[in-house]
A and B are shown apart, each in its own frame.
Chain A
């Protein structure tokens, strides 16, 4: 199975991963429309962290034993048949228990909807958009064992 590897040595902090995450989760899938017209604008589910000279983009690790799924009180978080950790916002009540337990800080809050938000591995399009658009291989898709990296 494939997971996203974070390569902080080569990240240049350009934040294109955030930009393309937003585009990938927009209605239009168009960068101009997503940023200029869609309201509310989608929220990036990857976060670039910076403490110059270090930077990296980090998103959900899709853990083999996801504590967020185990802890979710509503059943909104689940593991799909490919081992990807997904979130059904229709089931989510915004209790934030997932935020309490995720050791990566990978779950965001959608304040408008009062629901959690997380990386969905761009399941609909194949390669995650952040990986696809990273100009410097700061994020790469690698093959890992069933137990993770």
Chain B
């Protein structure tokens, strides 16, 4: 079958691409391929789903008539075997070949599972798909889950831990680094998060990892105990491994597509092969704060990257130069945000503003370089954080209103008038 546009991936990046293509080209043939046999859903919502905050139907990212309305053909539940760059075709597992003029690779990531003694295919769970969430739900509903261990103190691991604890399961989080959320928070804010978790009954074990899992002698698919690298033994009825995702690139093996840690793309989200684009967790995105290209596995980044790719695929020149590390999190109701730098680099003319009120669990930190905001962390005082992120995106000199930046009532009123005018007329990003 021949298509004008093919999109690999049915999550935020793929949908971003499809919606952008359809903004400019309503007629070109367009198909989305995914190995997941389900309507587009938000994997960012699976912690809410596991916890029972939302029902299955609320996982859907777009209304049920989405594909129909946008004239999109779907190949769902179809695994891709390979990409043939020369003949511009995708080969599916069932042998079918789909030809394309323009291709968007938004294949996402696969959970990374380290080799651990005693681990087999069936005695642990990962937590990145609705299928994972359903399997964990089934396991919990089958009963007798009293103790759970989550390997990985990153965002996914901690959200999994919080969801499990809502079932009155005793949860331990094991994190190899000296603190949780090491990639997205600084020392103080990550300690506050650890405190929140501990106060809610979750044990946080940092600086250690799992060296072995001991299976039930009668049932190798059932874990009895976890042994840590310090020989401590943890009782365990359920193990979740959530130490991160790696780009899903298996079907790109032996192609000429440039791959570093992820697929290398330019600011148009195009790979080194004209007409082949990539976005989301499988691609390396330009980070304007760090001025490097890097894996940036975030929901908004995937959508916007896909959208930029889609515009270009449909012939509308557009660049994505606003990628950055940025997260909005919530632990037991306490909101936490970070964006850009989390620690002041040793070199250069950096300035750090901090405000810490342990009694209110409020923490705020802003990192500046030559009066330009380069990073923010805010715990429990998150309203209007987007204004600060906007200052970062627009490279705005804050010297005239720096005194107000840290206060809870910081707002547009403190901006110089000419900048505010630009903002109110939508000329800034």
Asked if A96 and B328 make an inter-chain contact with CB atoms under 8 angstroms apart, the answer reads yes
- Whether, in the assembled complex, B125 has its beta carbon less than 8 Å from a beta carbon of chain A, the answer is no
Closest B residue by C-beta to A64: B426
Known: A50-B413, A75-B60, A93-B45. A100 touches B386 (CB 8 A): yes
Residues of A within 8 A of B384 (CB): 99, 105
Known: A50-B413, A75-B60. A95 touches B44 (CB 8 A): yes
Asked if A74 and B45 make an inter-chain contact with CB atoms under 8 angstroms apart, the answer reads yes
Closest B residue by C-beta to A75: B61
Q: How far is the CA of A96 from the CA of B389 in the complex (A)?
A: 14
Q: How far is the CA of A55 from the CA of B423 in the complex (A)?
A: 16
Which residues from 359 to 387 on chain B have a C-beta closer than 8 Å to any C-beta of chain A? 382-387
Closest A residue by C-beta to B410: A105
Which residues from 92 to 121 on chain A have a C-beta closer than 8 Å to any C-beta of chain B? 93-105, 107-109
Asked if B328 and A97 make an inter-chain contact with CB atoms under 8 angstroms apart, the answer reads yes
Q: How far is the CB of B340 from chain A (nearest CB, A)?
A: 12
- Whether, in the assembled complex, A17 has its beta carbon less than 8 Å from a beta carbon of chain B, the answer is no
- Whether, in the assembled complex, B304 has its beta carbon less than 8 Å from a beta carbon of chain A, the answer is yes
Q: How far is the CA of A146 from the CA of B28 in the complex (A)?
A: 24
Asked if B423 and A100 make an inter-chain contact with CB atoms under 8 angstroms apart, the answer reads no
Asked if A97 and B425 make an inter-chain contact with CB atoms under 8 angstroms apart, the answer reads no
Q: How far is the CB of B333 from chain A (nearest CB, A)?
A: 8
Count of B interface residues, CB-CB < 8 Å: 47
Q: How far is the CA of A98 from the CA of B389 in the complex (A)?
A: 12
- Whether, in the assembled complex, A43 has its beta carbon less than 8 Å from a beta carbon of chain B, the answer is no
Closest A residue by C-beta to B411: A49
Asked if B413 and A49 make an inter-chain contact with CB atoms under 8 angstroms apart, the answer reads yes
- Whether, in the assembled complex, A29 has its beta carbon less than 8 Å from a beta carbon of chain B, the answer is no
Residues of A within 8 A of B54 (CB): 93
Residues of A within 8 A of B390 (CB): 102-104
- Whether, in the assembled complex, A63 has its beta carbon less than 8 Å from a beta carbon of chain B, the answer is yes
Residues of A within 8 A of B307 (CB): 70
Q: How far is the CA of A148 from the CA of B339 in the complex (A)?
A: 27
Asked if A95 and B386 make an inter-chain contact with CB atoms under 8 angstroms apart, the answer reads no
Asked if A95 and B330 make an inter-chain contact with CB atoms under 8 angstroms apart, the answer reads yes
Q: How far is the CB of A28 from chain B (nearest CB, A)?
A: 28
Asked if B61 and A105 make an inter-chain contact with CB atoms under 8 angstroms apart, the answer reads no
Residues of A within 8 A of B303 (CB): 70-71
Q: How far is the CA of A100 from the CA of B339 in the complex (A)?
A: 9
Q: How far is the CA of A29 from the CA of B423 in the complex (A)?
A: 32
Q: Which of B44, B300, B394, B417 contacts A70 (CB 8 A)?
A: B300
Residues of B within 8 A of A70 (CB): 16, 300, 303-304, 307
Asked if B413 and A101 make an inter-chain contact with CB atoms under 8 angstroms apart, the answer reads no
Greatest chain A CB density within 10 A among B326, B386, B389, B420 is at B386
Q: How far is the CA of A115 from the CA of B384 in the complex (A)?
A: 15
Closest A residue by C-beta to B60: A75
Asked if B335 and A96 make an inter-chain contact with CB atoms under 8 angstroms apart, the answer reads yes
Known: A73-B45, A105-B386. A95 touches B328 (CB 8 A): yes
Which residues from 21 to 77 on chain A have a C-beta closer than 8 Å to any C-beta of chain B? 47, 49-51, 54-56, 58, 61, 63-64, 67, 70-71, 73-75
Q: How far is the CB of A135 from chain B (nearest CB, A)?
A: 20
**Contact pattern, B 326-347, Cβ under 8 Å of A = 1, otherwise 0:** 1110100001010100000000
Residues of B within 8 A of A55 (CB): 413
- Whether, in the assembled complex, B42 has its beta carbon less than 8 Å from a beta carbon of chain A, the answer is yes
- Whether, in the assembled complex, B233 has its beta carbon less than 8 Å from a beta carbon of chain A, the answer is no
Residues of A within 8 A of B327 (CB): 100
Q: How far is the CA of A111 from the CA of B358 in the complex (A)?
A: 22
Asked if B412 and A71 make an inter-chain contact with CB atoms under 8 angstroms apart, the answer reads no
Residues of A within 8 A of B386 (CB): 98-105, 107
Residues of B within 8 A of A51 (CB): 413-414
Which residues from 269 to 315 on chain B have a C-beta closer than 8 Å to any C-beta of chain A? 299-300, 303-304, 307
Residues of B within 8 A of A101 (CB): 300, 326, 386, 389
Known: A6-B424, A99-B386, A100-B337. A71 touches B60 (CB 8 A): no
Asked if A103 and B413 make an inter-chain contact with CB atoms under 8 angstroms apart, the answer reads no
Closest B residue by C-beta to A100: B328
- Whether, in the assembled complex, B355 has its beta carbon less than 8 Å from a beta carbon of chain A, the answer is no
Asked if B382 and A104 make an inter-chain contact with CB atoms under 8 angstroms apart, the answer reads no
Chosen A-B contacts, 8 in total, with CB atoms closer than 8 Å, are A70-B303, A71-B304, A95-B44, A95-B328, A103-B394, A103-B428, A104-B386, A107-B386
Interface set of B (CB-CB < 8 Å, partner A): 12, 16, 42, 44-45, 48, 53-54, 58, 60-62, 299-300, 303-304, 307, 326-328, 330, 335, 337, 339, 382-387, 389-390, 393-394, 411-414, 417, 420, 423-429
- 12 more A-B residue pairs beyond the given contacts A75-B61, A102-B387, with a C-beta to C-beta distance below 8 A: A5-B424, A67-B304, A70-B300, A71-B300, A73-B42, A95-B328, A97-B328, A99-B384, A104-B412, A105-B387, A107-B386, A149-B424
For the complex of A and B, 8 pairs with smallest distance between CB atoms: A103-B390, A105-B384, A71-B300, A149-B425, A49-B413, A148-B426, A73-B44, A102-B386
